[in-house]
Amino acid sequence: MSRAEVSRRLQGELEKLAAESKARSIAVALHDFETDFRFSMCGDRWFHAASTIKVAVLLAVFRAADEGRFGLDDSLHVRNRFFSAAGGTIFHVSPDRDATPELYQSIGRTAKICALAHAMICGSSNLAANLLLEFVGVEYARTVLREAQVHGVELRRGVEDHAAHERGINNEATADGLLRLLFAIRGDFLTNEGKTTSNPDSAGSTIQLYDSRRSSTPCDSGA
């Protein structure tokens, strides 16, 4: 079967699923590394990024470590107090909405950056995501996305920043953009050490995190 025929059949099946589920809109983008088959259906359509934005935070964290800004075994102070992208007001994240509520037991203590990255990706922790994003900075993370040529992913704020949400300041992504983001993690943008190796006592590299993610909890809805 030709790739054009595979694409037509795949699109037909996806449209059928969308109709049956009464989805308001869908988008799909894929790349099969074994066959180099590529497919995109409404891949440039924008959606609320929800927890997929944590992958962008991960890229920024490992890029900063590559640049020597810090070590992945360095520690951060764990707190539940963040500054809103809407005027700098203080907000907190809820353990009831977090897929890794046990991290809240570490508030007031410290945690390794690699452990927070593990909690963010493998446990979809909102608290870990915000701690890491505030540490590297939103503008730095946006710069990393530009340098990695990840178009179609807009990172503007942390998770559960409701004041920013009410003012229309949201994280957004397209299916094509998320695919580019995964390419940046798998490709040459990060060093080989960051992608494929880890300290035996650390939470793991970017690739190992994603291998673990396959059997962990699904992405939460985020905000």
pTM of the model: 0.88
User: Do residue 80 and residue 153 come from a single domain?
Assistant: yes
CA distance 114 to 79: 17
User: Do residue 18 and residue 96 come from a single domain?
Assistant: no
Domain count, the chain: 2
* Contact (CB, 8 A) for 25 and 100: no
Domain that holds residue 110: 46-213
* Contact (CB, 8 A) for 173 and 149: no
pLDDT tens column, 44-87: 999 999 999 999 999 999 999 999 999 999 999 999 999 999 99
DSSP-based three-state secondary structure for 38: strand
User: Do residue 157 and residue 66 come from a single domain?
Assistant: yes
Candidates 177, 133, 174, 176; CA nearest to 156 is 133
* Mean per-residue pLDDT, 13-35: 95
User: Do residue 51 and residue 38 come from a single domain?
Assistant: no
User: Do residue 33 and residue 96 come from a single domain?
Assistant: no
* Mean per-residue pLDDT, 186-211: 62
pLDDT tens column, 86-106: 999 999 999 998 888 899 999
Res 168: pLDDT: 97
* Contact (CB, 8 A) for 157 and 83: no
User: Which whole-number Å values give the CA distances from 179 to 28, 32, 70, 161, in the listed order?
Assistant: 9, 11, 27, 25
